[in-house]
Amino acid sequence: MPSQETAAQPDREIHYASRGSSHYDVILAVFCVVLVVSNLAATKATEFGSGDLSLGPVQIWPVISDGGAVLFPLAYILGDVMSEVYGFKAARRAILVGFGTAIMTFATFLVVMALPGASFYENQEAFESVVWSGLQIVAASMIAYLTGQFLNSWVLVRMKARSAEPGLFRRLAGSTGVGEAADTLIFCAIAASAIGITTGGQFVNYVVVGFVFKCAVELLVMPVTMLAIRALKNREPSYWA
């Protein structure tokens, strides 16, 4: 029988939905696609602005990033949704499935690269260049992804264990900061040379811009994320059970 304190404060109970639902399946599928597409897009370095502005050894301008930054923040948003609604085990499953799909994607590219090209095919060198740089990107992404996503999910779930239902914004913001910091630093350290970053100033620019941009995107859309989480909680019959 629940205690009087629990009965008087139902919002202090910790709830999670069962991952055996169609909603979880859809989120998992989108999560995997986002990860694979982000890895492919990350093989292209991007630069915004003209001129050259440095503060000591650190390059301030132009801003350096990679194509993966366009979509990758969505992976953390979906990770937050799964961790908050379905719990750490469900998020862990999604992280591992996403890891497997990314490995399978680039294993396929390696096989295709080794196959003989048609007599009229003229892009073998370009294809090999993208695949070989993509392998370094994938290695960087997988190590960073596993570290960052697990930290993101673990921090969110631990914070929820302390606050229960209240404090959703704090959980999302706190877990995002920890996860993105680890992810960005590890990814940039391994992938920098693959996209042509050669100086310390460029590297600092790459890390700082990546972290700030990803966190800014997540914070900007956080009201939508919170609405989606609350709607999903109410649509999952097992959540409040």
- Over residues 102-129, mean pLDDT: 84
- Rounded Cα gap, residues 171 and 150, in angstroms: 14
Residue 93 CA, chain-centre distance (Å), reads 15
- Rounded Cα gap, residues 62 and 42, in angstroms: 18
pLDDT score, position 183: 85
What does each C-alpha distance from 161 to 12, 158, 229 come to in angstroms? 9, 5, 17
Q: What is the pLDDT of residues 72-103, one digit of tens each?
A: 778 888 988 999 999 999 999 998 998 888 88
Question: Which pLDDT band holds residue 192 (cuts at 50, 70, 90)?
Answer: confident
- Kindly report the pTM of this predicted structure: 0.76
Instruction: Name residue, tokens 């085990």.
Output: 89
pLDDT score, position 126: 81
Report the b/e string of 92-128 with b at 16+ CB within 10 A. Answer: bebbeebbebbeebbeebeeeeeeeeeeeeeeeeeee
pLDDT at 112 over 50: yes
Question: Which pLDDT band holds residue 157 (cuts at 50, 70, 90)?
Answer: very high
- Rounded Cα gap, residues 187 and 138, in angstroms: 9
Segments in the chain forming alpha helices (H): 4-8, 22-41, 73-86, 88-114, 124-163, 168-191, 200-220, 222-235
Question: What does DSSP assign to residue 194?
Answer: G
190 token code pair: 């391994």
Percent over 70 (pLDDT), the chain: 81
237 token code pair: 């019959």
